[in-house]
Amino acid sequence: VWTIKNLYSEDTVNKLVAGSYLLNKEIIPEIVQLYIMVFFTVWTIKNLYSEDLILWIRQLKLEFPKYTPNTSLRACSLLIQDCPTLAEDLFNAVFVSLWSNQLTEDQQDKLNENLRKALEHQNITEVTMTILNLAEFMAHWGKGELDIENQVFARAARRCNAYAKALYYVEKSFLNNESGMLAELLRINNTLQQHQAACGVLEYAKLHPNVDKPQDSWYEELQRWEDALKCYNKNLDTNKNLQAPHTSIEHDVLGRLRCLEALNRWDEMESTVEHHWTDFCSDRFKQRGPDNNPKTQMASLAATASWRLAKWNNMDKYTDAMPVNYHKHFYSAISAIVHQDYDKAQEYIDQSRETLGQEIAVIVKEGYHRFYKKMIDMHMLAELEEVIAFKKTFHNENKFTSIHREFKNTPEKSKKEEEYKARLRDIWWARLQGCQRNVEDWSKILEVHKLVLDPTDDDKAWLKFSSIARKSKRYDLAQKILVGLIGENPSESDNWLDDNSNVHPAVVYQYLKYQWNVAFTEDVRKNTFRQLTSYVDSHCKADIYPQQESPYPPSHLWSHMPLQSKSFPNRLKSKYKLKQGLWKIQLLKEEGHDGAVEACLQYFEQAKDYDDAWYKAWREWAIINKQAARTDSMNIIESNYEKVVRELREYLPPEPADYVFEDDDEDELGDSDDDDRVDDLVLTPDLANIQGHAQQARIEELLRQKKELRNELDKRYDMITASVKGFIESITRSMKQNSLQDILQLLTLWFTHGHNSNVNKVLMDNITRIPLTIWIQVIPQLIARIDIKHSKVRGLVHRVLKDVGRDHPQALIYPLSVASKSGSEDSERSRYACQLLAEMNEPKNDLVTEGTLLSNELIRIAILWNELWHNALETASTKWFQDQDAEGMFAVLSPLYEMLNTDPQTELEQSFKNTYGLDLQEAKVWCDRYRTSKEERHIKQAWEHYYNVYRRIGTTINQINALRLEDCSPKLLNKAKDMVLAVPGSYDPDQPVITIAAIDPSVFVIKSKQRPRKLSMTGSDGKKYTFLLKGNEDLRQDERAMQLFGLVNSLLASYDHTSELNLSIQRYSIIPLSPNSGLCGWRPHSDTLHSLIKEHRDRKSIAHTLENKLLQNFCSCYEKLPLMMKIEVFEDVLNITLGVDLANILYQRSPSAEVWFERRKNYILSHAVMSMVGYILGLGDRHPSNIMMDRKTGNLIHVDFGECFDVARDREKYPEKVPFRLTRMMQKAMEVTGIHGSYTKTCYAVMDVLRRNEASILAVLETFVYDPLINWRLVDQGSGGEPGVGNSYDMTINKKAIEILQKVRKKLTGYDDVTNERHTMVEVQVQSLISQATASENLCQLYMGWCPFW
């Protein structure tokens, strides 16, 4: 029957399976086996038509479900007939059920052999993909796989363009130590747009020369075009004779052409093609297929060069020699447009689009980056159609009648043509803005634009292209573009910047930046700076260019201005001045000039004066003034000033009896009445005689010092005042664009120097200009300073908070509620917070009432009475039995007794009082007796009761899985309905308010140490919002960490090399409710690494503590071993275990290789980002339970930020010597080359961004460490208390904060905090950190709960 051509007829498969059901619907095994034998026998037929094979396999998918032994799958057989797509989804499961239940081992072997033949001897995409998907499904199934070599699968996947599948099988081959796999890994990663992973292959090959020797062609795969070109040129010089045996000259010629194409050297390409074209057209290559024929490969490259050089006749010749593919159709369309055959051009475009559609259908699942390249091709096809429309309108010779020909060259026609061009220019520019800043893509797109727009007509796009090339270090290309716009090569001309030069200032600006970037010596940089200065002095006149109608000038400042025009917009003048200042500072620093910043203030002031509507000029002005003021050393100057004044006061005569000197600590230095008397001290002759000459000389010396110090302070305060003004202007002009870093730096200056009268005046006059929505970003910082001691600063903080509370009360209700519960009830912070809440309560009565209700009741749910007592008794036992501190024990228990004496508010509280009240009161009686008698037998009697209560509570707590609101918070159940209060963490001033409609009546208790609750509420938008309600944890530091991550995300998005990778830190909402409780946004479909690994091992019947057990078998006293022996034992355990759990989890939990590829990439990138940011933050305690993984995306999510600023590294017991978590299991889950690839390269990129933005990072961390609600942790870790008070405490905090910021600053400038060496290169710094993170000597010292083996 299989010899019949049309397998899809009624006489074939359908008749074969007829009668396979009995009346009772049971399957006849013989019929099923016959059917399956037919399935794999068909693969042995050699001359089967491709069309028939496709129809056969489709019919197979429809029929197989009828014969599966699985009842559920068999029940779908009727549905499949009406829904054929379901057959595709179920085929793998159906096949597995038949494979495992119906086939013998011999039949399975035979089927394996035939499937292998099918993969190797046919090239039908649908059939191959069906087998590949089947093999993938069986690998996930875990109970048997197809016995086919990995390389067979890899080759078949490559033929189908399924490169993610190919990557998986090549990596498996590599892990099996099969040779030649590194080259395959490099090629596949490059095809998948994984340039970083491809670079890692080369790094791995260099470190492991015994695996695979690096090849010359690898440089091309890594896009190191200059290196590759040198190799190909060297080979060509060696093998000049094409007829020589074993020569690879065609390979080297094609490689040279590819390199020249990437480097945009079209002339060299053309000469190379002309030299070798005849040889490549010889008969010796005719027998080769189109994929291996060097002539067809050269034709495609030659057509590209001819297109770029506008040599259309040559392009036609090379296009004719190309195989039929997208590129042939594309170049044919361009040629047809040039020859004004627009209908033919449209046909070629349609054919190109059809070909692209087929390719996109295959690769669309392999990720955005690979799909993006095809979308660029679609982009160019769409613009070619717009070119055709333009040409048809204005350049179609065939359509003009005699009347039209008269109109052809009229001014009216020229005007309409220019208007049409302007429209196209604007449309195309808008599209370019959505493209990645990629040199190759922009080059192709702009070449299409040249069919309509000359580069001088499209100056904005070409200048931007030159900037992209320069930033990509493609300096030759950047120079070529700029030389084309200038009209001459500036390096060959001495007068290109003369006054009579017609080069537009925008082009000059770009060329000077290019010249500065390629200046590798100080002398060349100085010469470039002199050129810039000379040009600025002669062109940036005092006259101001007329402002645009809009308050914010357009980004294209030279729009509609010919490049030969000398028009000099103010924005461009401002850019020149900024660049002049920045370059001058760099040159002065290279010369070792101490006051480099201060000496260059004038440039930045002129920049803001030229364009006072540009926020960047104001920001740079503000930053440079802050740096010049050297605020970090002002404390020393002020301290010295106070010391001088105190000594001078000793020489003052006695005060009159009726005079009372008031020392107001809020006055500025030098502003008190006493200072006036000090200034007049030497002006009294009688006083001089009384004091004597020695004292007189000392007074004069002290007054001289006072004057110098006062002048220095005044000078610095003037700079601080200018900086405050600059930040305010920048914020008001940029609005929300990068405003967070500016507002945080403003807060630092405000809170530190706001007591100064000049600074305070600028703030008072301008602070209301800042939009209230900007202040919402920094509400935690404002709340933290509501009780600041300086009345001027405090009053302004209250003013801002009142304004925010008036217009955005939803943003303020939760933070103020926390502050009202902070410290004792009579603390200033609590009192001020209550005052602000009371003022908000007048117009927003319901909102404040509901906010207070929700906050109080959630706190009640977060920590039940039995949990409070359980924790308190545990702490109290430590106080008594370990520390013998009875008073400390009483201090812990007293607040709970006060609570116990109040009336219970819920059923659970009443039940607790009824159950444990008598025992607890009896224990208190014994404690009171101890206080009187000091006899230990009394306190022992008390602890008998306490222990009984503790044991019973512990049993009860462990049995609680869920809580009902009617039992634990009836108020919330009854009153939290249709509230005006916003869902926590959802408030966005630019979006409608989502209020709380209802709260779920059940709250689930999660089994962990702190027993957090899973709480859900319904919003007014109908959506469910889920939170993790935490008790016994202070989330305020976590909230600040999320703020830092928000800034880092904005920084990563602002740089091309990081935004292209879509790098970011996974964030979630944090809403503190009190100093020891709060809400965290629930991360759906996320699990901790610990739970993932434990579940994986449980499923494999492997002990999740396997490494710990092995360690104990090696040495039961591991903790007591010396370091060298610890290292030896630690590495022995690593050597006998695999550590591939996380890698297997990533693959087995992914439905396909394409999904696995994306998830693994996200895992690596998110891990790299958080490694670098965590290092800067000094984030510790990174055990597997504090790192989560999103099961759908693979992104890592970090939780619990309680140990920041290297607290974990500095602790006495089990210090964390590693800068971040990079254990063996984390490495093995990356590419097979480990950290050599995407991880390391991403670390380089992230650290580079962080170091470039040192000031912004420090601004966030300054508000972090000086925050009085947080910084007490820095002084007394683990005290569990709130901030102290007094000058001694403030001095300790200030000293610790300065140390922390200094340490962070060192990290951001390349200092290694372990060796104290400075690494000027980012790569060296990152490699040092990775070495520390992976060193066995550091990992072996960690406590076992950190899971260093994982």
Q: What is the pLDDT of residues 162-199, one digit of tens each?
A: 899 999 999 999 998 888 888 889 889 988 888 889 88
Mean pLDDT of 1256-1273: 70
pLDDT of residue 825: 55
Mean pLDDT of 227-245: 75
Mean pLDDT of 422-441: 91
- pLDDT band for 906, please (50, 70, 90 cuts): very high
* 3-state per-residue secondary structure call for 579-639: HHHHHHHHHHHHCCCCCHHHHCHHHHHHHHHHCCCCHHHHHHHHHHHHHHHCHHHHHHHHH
pLDDT of residue 19: 39
When the pLDDT of each residue in the chain is averaged and rounded to a whole number, the result is 83
pLDDT of residue 243: 53
Mean pLDDT of 677-684: 50
Percent of the chain with pLDDT over 70: 85
Predicted TM-score (pTM) of this structure: 0.85
- pLDDT band for 636, please (50, 70, 90 cuts): confident
- Which has the closest alpha carbon to 452: 337, 281, 347? 337
939, 946 in Cβ contact below 8 A? Answer: no
Is pLDDT above 50 for 25?
Answer: no
pLDDT of residue 409: 58
The single residue listed with the structure tokens 């170049």 is 331
Could you tell me which residues are beta bridge partners of residue 526?
A: none
Min mean pLDDT across 358-362, 519-523, 897-901 is at 358-362
What does the block give as tokens for 727? 């930040």
Mean pLDDT of 1332-1345: 92
Task: Express each pLDDT in 72-93 by its tens digit.
Answer: 888 888 888 888 788 888 999 9
Q: Let me know how long the chain is.
A: 1350
pLDDT of residue 528: 92
What does the block give as tokens for 305? 């060069």
Contacts 24+ apart (CB under 8 A), 1151-1155: 1151/140, 1152/133, 1152/136, 1152/164, 1152/365, 1153/136, 1153/162, 1153/164, 1153/165, 1153/167, 1153/168, 1154/162, 1154/164, 1154/165, 1154/365, 1154/366, 1154/367, 1155/365
Select, from the ranges 309-313, 500-504, 697-701, 1257-1261, the one with the highest average predicted confidence (pLDDT).
Answer: 309-313
451, 425 in Cβ contact below 8 A? Answer: no
601, 538 in Cβ contact below 8 A? Answer: no
Is pLDDT above 80 for 550?
Answer: no
The single residue listed with the structure tokens 């992976």 is 1334
How far is the C-alpha of 750 from the C-alpha of 764, rounded, in Å?
11
Q: Which residue has the higher pLDDT, 31 or 1138?
A: 1138
Mean pLDDT of 543-558: 39
pLDDT of residue 830: 86
- Which has the closest alpha carbon to 1277: 1217, 1345, 1205? 1205
Min mean pLDDT across 273-282, 562-571, 1028-1037, 1233-1242 is at 562-571
pLDDT of residue 843: 65
Mean pLDDT of 1282-1289: 48
Q: Which residue has the higher pLDDT, 556 or 1104?
A: 1104
Mean pLDDT of 602-606: 92
- Which has the closest alpha carbon to 98: 58, 132, 138? 138
How far is the C-alpha of 183 from the C-alpha of 220, rounded, in Å?
12
What does the block give as tokens for 1043? 């703020």
Identity at 677, one-letter amino acid code? R
Min mean pLDDT across 393-402, 751-760, 937-946 is at 393-402
- Which has the closest alpha carbon to 622: 1212, 1068, 1255, 1137? 1255
Rounded (10°) CA dihedral 665, 669, 675, 678? 130
- Which has the closest alpha carbon to 666: 763, 795, 783? 795
Task: Express each pLDDT in 1186-1226 by its tens digit.
Answer: 999 999 999 999 998 888 888 888 888 888 999 999 999 99
Q: Read out DSSP for 473-534?
A: T-HHHHHHHHHHHHSS-GGG-S-TTSTT----HHHHHHHHHHHHHT--SHHHHHHHHHHHHH
pLDDT of residue 568: 78
Mean pLDDT of 16-20: 41
Is pLDDT above 70 for 1002?
Answer: yes
- pLDDT band for 46, please (50, 70, 90 cuts): very low
Task: Express each pLDDT in 972-1000 by its tens digit.
Answer: 998 999 999 999 999 998 899 999 999 99
Is pLDDT above 60 for 367?
Answer: yes
Sign for the pseudo-dihedral over CA of 523, 524, 527, 529: negative
Could you tell me which residues are beta bridge partners of residue 1019?
A: 996
Q: Which residue has the higher pLDDT, 500 or 136?
A: 136
Longest Cα–Cα distance in the chain: 132
Select, from the ranges 43-47, 432-436, 448-452, 1281-1285, the one with the highest average predicted confidence (pLDDT).
Answer: 448-452
Mean pLDDT of 874-892: 91
Sign for the pseudo-dihedral over CA of 642, 646, 649, 651: negative
Q: Which residue has the higher pLDDT, 68 or 464?
A: 464
What does the block give as tokens for 296? 């067809």
- pLDDT band for 22, please (50, 70, 90 cuts): very low
- pLDDT band for 403, please (50, 70, 90 cuts): very low
Min mean pLDDT across 24-28, 465-469, 744-748 is at 24-28
Select, from the ranges 44-53, 459-468, 781-790, the one with the highest average predicted confidence (pLDDT).
Answer: 459-468
Is pLDDT above 70 for 513?
Answer: yes
pLDDT of residue 674: 52
pLDDT of residue 692: 61
Alpha carbon 1297 to its chain's center = 27
pLDDT of residue 1258: 85
* Cα-based distances in Å from 503 to 281, 566, 987, 1164: 47, 7, 52, 47
How far is the C-alpha of 536 from the C-alpha of 607, rounded, in Å?
12
Task: Express each pLDDT in 931-955 by its tens digit.
Answer: 888 888 899 999 999 999 999 999 8
Sign for the pseudo-dihedral over CA of 1336, 1340, 1341, 1346: positive
Is pLDDT above 50 for 303?
Answer: yes
pLDDT of residue 1280: 45
Mean pLDDT of 611-616: 91
| Residues ≥6 apart with Cβ < 8 Å to 1072 | 814, 815, 818, 1034, 1035, 1036, 1039, 1078
How far is the C-alpha of 902 from the C-alpha of 897, rounded, in Å?
9
Task: Express each pLDDT in 242-271 by its tens digit.
Answer: 554 445 678 888 999 999 998 889 999 999
Mean pLDDT of 1244-1248: 95
476, 489 in Cβ contact below 8 A? Answer: no
